[in-house]
Amino acid sequence: MKCTGINALSAEPVEVRFDQVITGVDPLVDAQSGGPYLAPGFIDLQVNGFAGVDYNKTTTTHEQILHSLRAQFATGVTRLYPTLITNSEPEIVGCLRNLAAAKEALGNEGSAMEGFHVEGPFISAEDGPRGAHPVRWARKPDIEEYKRWQDAAQGQVKLVTISAEYDESPAFTEAVVRDGVVISIGHTKATTEQIRACVAAGATMSTHLGNGAHSILPRHPNYIWDQMAEDKLIASLIVDGVHLGANFVKVAIRAKTVERIVLVTDAVMPAGCAPGDYMLGEVEVELLPPGNRVVLRGGTRLAGSALKMHDAVANVIEMGGVTLRDAVVMATINAARAGRIGSRHRGLSTGDRADLVRFTMDNGRLQIVDTWLNGQQVYSA
């Protein structure tokens, strides 16, 4: 197989040859200017559901999961971490078992589920940092429960978000990181010292920095500044124009640098659907008109997003003042590094997996043309 386009990481016209992996990248001398861009497939490390499908339900069918994956291929995503929020242990275990079975049953398309992200239940129970997670299930980190998750997931839990505020957090972090899993700090009211302890134990990410927080914070110190200043933490951002303002996005990029920013959608069930009432696990949510804000039903508190990854790439260019190259790096190479996704760290390079996306730019918005996963075309406009 081969495809051509303008390399979004280098701005050079190229021809990419591939089977399951990229076998060659050659410059094109006579390529037309203004042609489609070519980039590594996008990676989403935090997606709770999509296209009317909720990953936080044990009853979600394999067919529904496949529908959600195909809808995400149309946004340029080729690898994702289906994400489970705070719930009872039986529900989390059941959802992980269901997702792992779906990954195995759905063949190449199922392999897009690179692993699973458990965002909670080991988070703050306090209003504000807890976000939309149900308070009754928030609890302290428990390594034995984590092991039961891995048993259900066939060892495919790859990312866990925890609060750094608990006495158990450093020891839990050290044990889980030793297992090859990424620990991300989020939904926390932790002190400076508690964050430092978690980082020293091996935490390497901040989950949707700037969200899952109190509405009013001390000027300094506070857990947002502490994480912003910590060079060992890569920060994920929800750049949908709702969760964060443009000034925060700019400051975060300047503080962390482009190399330590990852774009995530934090999408939930109603993403890609019409406004109305939906569910996120046991949580009732509502997608408000015109379709870009998800809140707890009947309220104003945000409950995930309706963001699509190709829109996140366009938004961070506009809101963060970065180049197309930098935005694509945030959605691809950085995400692969942060999530420890192998053979996706070098961009359009020989030997990396043939996860590719081709897109055009029109008035600052991305339009997906083609998506390939493991060298197989999974979307074409």
pLDDT (0 to 100) of residue 33: 63
Amino acid letter for position 111: S
- DSSP string computed for 79-134: EEEEEE-S--HHHHHHHHHHHHHHHHHTHHHHTTB--EEEE-SSS--STTTTTTS-
- Class of 41-349 in CATH: alpha beta
Peptide bond between residue 289 and the one before it cis (omega within 30 degrees of 0): no
Residue 77, burial from CB neighbour count under 10 angstroms (0-12, 13-18, 19+): buried
What does R_g of the chain's alpha carbons equal in angstroms? 20
Which residues of the chain are modeled with pLDDT < 70?
Answer: 31-34
CA distance 29 to 120: 51
Distance CA 257, CA 171 (A): 29
Cα separation, 253 vs 299, in Å, equals: 31
Confidence (pLDDT) at 25? 97
Return the SS3 of 75.
coil
Residue 372: what pLDDT? 98
In 281-316, the DSSP E strands lie at: 283-288, 293-296
What does the alpha-carbon distance between residue 259 and residue 329 come to, in Å, rounded to a whole number? Answer: 8
Task: Please say whether the beta carbons of 296 and 283 come within 8 A.
Answer: yes
Q: What is the pLDDT of residue 29?
A: 82
What number of CA atoms fall less than 13 Å from residue 335's CA on the CB side?
A: 31
Residue 31 confidence (pLDDT): 63
Torsion angles phi and psi, residue 65, rounded to 5: -65, -40
Residue from 116, 124, 281, 109 nearest 182 by CA: 116
Q: How far apart are CA 74 and CA 367, in angstroms?
A: 9
Q: In the chain, where does DSSP find H-type helix?
A: 62-73, 89-105, 107-110, 143-152, 169-178, 192-201, 223-229, 246-256, 309-320, 324-331, 333-339
- Closest by Cα among 174, 380, 208 to 304: 208
Distances in whole angstroms, Cα of residue 362 to Cα of each of 103, 244, 320, 355, 367? 35, 24, 18, 23, 7
- Whether residue 116 contacts residue 93, with contact meaning beta carbons closer than 8 Å, is answered with no
pTM: 0.98
pLDDT of amino acid 17: 98
> What values do phi and psi take at 265, rounded to 5?
-95, -35
Q: Whose CA is closest to 330, among 252, 260, 265? A: 260
Q: Report the C-alpha gap between 256 and 239 in whole angstroms.
A: 15
Domain-wise residue ranges, the chain? 41-349
Q: Helix (H, G, I), strand (E, B), or coil: what is residue 101?
A: helix
What are the helix and strand counts (H, E) for the chain?
11, 20
Residue pointed to by tokens 């260019």: 317
Provide the pLDDT for residue 351: 97
Helix, strand, coil percentages (3-state) for the chain, rounded to 5, are: 30, 30, 45
